[in-house]
């Protein structure tokens, strides 16, 4: 499942989804632009055969939009190494920019799969709207060719930059060992004092702790009567968090293993937070981080707030750190030789993305969140309003409106 707020791509079942798609492939406009001039309307058997062939070639999705009645199918899209066919079959949903969003979602998926390029095999030369769509997404026209039916068409190609990998659990744990995180426990109470204030949280509400580590914030929230759900990609940290949560109350605390890039919830949480090196900045490229923000928005109830902590790129630039890459705003997390728990030396080559406040505001806006307030972090446990150049990180409190 690929989601973008009120739009999602659901993996298709060729046999079950063909019936819903049948009206699309009887629409003269769809037939003209997808099949060419003179194409005859499809019957159900032909749609099923087409869907089976597309599913065998790559990943076939049903495009769905969120309506008051639930998720409603409006078209289809396929991701293959050689083509990117997209159909907005329901005429009521055309001309709303959904094709552009679907292309972006498919390209993000292609990067996740490690593809070096994306291609569009045939756009009929009379389909200027599709040409603008793909060129607007960065594709370049590579040649004019002929379709299988002999009609002139354009072919497009886009080079995909490699997706910066999310950190491995092993590398991350070397820097964030359990003894290292243990030292942070002393700050839990003062940090939760701050959290419940800026989030506007009330006892009994459900809060999502993203990148929870040992769960110090979730456990403290449970002690105060909140329901806390902590998730982390590390099974080692989740097991230890569960052990430490035994008997914590009067609220409730639940810990689970989850790569937060795969968060898939709908209005389950009153508020959420991801602070103190909890993972944002290590999720991949900027589109991966934007997708994560969209997933958080989807998980929040209307009016919910999200406290997001990021590394302060201004600090890196001002101090002239040797591992800082100003072009990509990334820092070698720990350049040089380190020693792990077994005293065996290693070199950690992972990078972390730093951000500026305007970047976070822009990404939040694209994800459907608004900026509520901003805070600077001088060091762990010391958070104050406003942002200074030398802050280690800054925290933006975002809000989901209706």
> Which domains are present in the chain?
2-159 (3.40.630.30), 169-399 (3.40.50.150)
Average pLDDT, the chain: 87
The whole-number pLDDT of residue 287 equals: 85
Q: Distance between CA atoms of 245 and 207, rounded to whole angstroms?
A: 16
- Measured in whole angstroms, the distance separating CA 44 from the mean position of its chain's CA atoms is 35
Confirm if 58 and 66 have CB atoms less than 8 A apart. Answer: no
pLDDT digits (tens, 9 = 90+) for 327-350: 888 887 653 444 444 444 444 456
Q: Distance between CA atoms of 260 and 164, rounded to whole angstroms?
A: 16
The whole-number pLDDT of residue 381 equals: 74
Which structure tokens are listed for 68?
């008051």
Of 248, 262, 260, 254, which is closest to residue 308 (Cα–Cα)? Answer: 260
Burial class, 17, CB count within 10 angstroms (exposed 0-12 / middle 13-18 / buried 19+) = buried
Judge whether residue 308 has pLDDT over 90: yes
Q: What is the mean pLDDT of residues 360-379?
A: 93
The whole-number pLDDT of residue 12 equals: 95
Of 234, 216, 312, 227, which is closest to residue 272 (Cα–Cα)? Answer: 227
Q: Which of the pair, 278 or 165, is modelled with greater confidence?
A: 278
**What is the phi/psi pair of residue 368, to 5°?**
90, 20
pLDDT digits (tens, 9 = 90+) for 57-103: 999 999 999 998 899 999 999 999 999 999 999 999 998 889 989 99
Judge whether residue 166 has pLDDT over 60: no
Which structure tokens are listed for 223?
């002690």
Q: Distance between CA atoms of 234 and 242, rounded to whole angstroms?
A: 12
pLDDT digits (tens, 9 = 90+) for 180-237: 677 778 888 999 999 999 999 999 999 999 998 889 999 999 999 999 999 998 888 8
The whole-number pLDDT of residue 341 equals: 44
Percent of the chain with pLDDT over 70: 90
The whole-number pLDDT of residue 186 equals: 83
Distances in whole angstroms, Cα of residue 142 to Cα of each of 114, 122, 159, 305: 22, 11, 12, 46
Judge whether residue 175 has pLDDT over 70: no
The whole-number pLDDT of residue 397 equals: 97
97: left (phi over 0), alpha (psi -120 to 50) or beta: left
Confidence class of residue 262 from pLDDT cuts 50, 70 and 90? Answer: confident
Name which of 247-256, 294-303, 392-401 the model is least confident about.
247-256
The whole-number pLDDT of residue 318 equals: 87
Judge whether residue 22 has pLDDT over 80: yes
Q: Distance between CA atoms of 310 and 289, rounded to whole angstroms?
A: 11
The whole-number pLDDT of residue 19 equals: 95
The whole-number pLDDT of residue 56 equals: 94
Q: What is the mean pLDDT of residues 259-278?
A: 89
Side-chain-facing half-sphere of 189: CA atoms under 13 Å: 2
The whole-number pLDDT of residue 346 equals: 41
């Amino acid at each position: 499942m690929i989601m973008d707020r009120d739009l999602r791509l659901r993996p298709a079942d060729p046999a079950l989804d063909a019936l819903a798609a049948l009206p699309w492939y009887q629409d003269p406009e769809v037939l003209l632009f997808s099949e060419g001039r003179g194409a005859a309307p499809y019957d159900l058997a032909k749609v099923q055969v087409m869907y089976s062939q597309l599913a065998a070639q790559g990943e076939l999705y049903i495009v769905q939009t969120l309506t008051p009645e639930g998720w409603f199918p409006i078209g289809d899209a396929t991701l293959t190494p050689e083509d990117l066919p997209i159909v907005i079959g329901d005429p009521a949903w055309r001309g709303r920019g959904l094709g552009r969003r679907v292309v972006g979602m498919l390209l993000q998926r292609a990067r996740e799969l490690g593809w070096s390029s994306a291609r569009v095999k045939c756009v009929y030369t009379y389909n200027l709207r599709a040409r603008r769509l793909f060129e607007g997404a960065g594709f370049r026209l590579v040649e004019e060719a002929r379709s299988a039916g002999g009609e002139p068409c354009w072919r497009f190609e886009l080079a995909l930059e490699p997706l910066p990998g999310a950190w491995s659990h092993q590398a991350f744990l070397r820097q964030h060992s359990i003894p290292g995180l243990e030292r942070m426990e002393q700050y839990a109470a003062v940090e939760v004092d701050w959290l419940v204030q800026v989030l506007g949280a009330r006892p009994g509400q459900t809060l999502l702790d993203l990148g929870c580590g040992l769960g110090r914030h979730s456990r403290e929230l449970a002690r105060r009567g909140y329901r806390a759900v902590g998730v982390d990609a590390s099974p080692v940290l989740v097991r230890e968090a569960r052990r430490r949560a035994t008997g914590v109350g009067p609220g409730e605390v639940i810990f689970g293993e989850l790569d937060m890039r795969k968060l898939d919830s709908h209005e389950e949480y009153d508020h959420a937070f991801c602070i103190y090196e909890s993972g944002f900045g290590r999720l991949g490229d900027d589109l991966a981080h934007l997708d994560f923000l969209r997933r958080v928005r989807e998980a929040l109830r209307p009016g919910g707030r999200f406290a997001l902590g990021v590394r302060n790129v201004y600090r890196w630039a001002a101090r002239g750190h040797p591992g800082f890459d100003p072009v990509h705003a990334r820092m070698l997390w720990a350049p040089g030789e380190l020693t792990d728990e077994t005293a065996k030396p290693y070199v950690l080559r992972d990078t972390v993305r730093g951000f500026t406040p305007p970047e976070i505001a822009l990404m939040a806006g694209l994800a459907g969140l608004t900026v509520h307030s901003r805070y600077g972090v001088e060091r762990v446990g010391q958070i104050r309003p406003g942002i200074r150049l030398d802050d280690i990180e800054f925290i933006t409190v975002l809000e989901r409106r209706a």
